[in-house]
Amino acid sequence: MTNIKYIIGTGGALTRLPNRVEILKSAADDGRGLELYPGSDTQVLIDNHYIFASLGVLSKKYPEDALKLMKNSLNIK
């Protein structure tokens, strides 16, 4: 078993392809029993606004605002 709870897709293709979630889920489901592979219960999240790189810098001075933007981009309430 692994402790991976989320796979986050960010970057050009992973934020724009119509089947982006399925691509990432298929990667998680192909573990073939390897211990460190994400399990089938791992949730796939997409950086829909492609802003994660910027959020790292923003979080240094505005951590609460960066967290709000991150949750918004991932569609987390």
Q: Which residues, 6+ apart, have CB-to-CB distance to 56 below 8 Å?
A: 66
Domain with 72 in it? 51-77
pLDDT digits (tens, 9 = 90+) for 27-65: 766 656 566 677 777 888 999 999 998 999 999 999 999
Q: Are residues 58 and 31 in the same domain?
A: no
pLDDT at 14: 75
| Closest residue by Cα to residue 10 from 69, 55, 51 | 51
Q: Are residues 62 and 36 in the same domain?
A: no
Q: Considering its fold, how many domains does the chain have in total?
A: 2
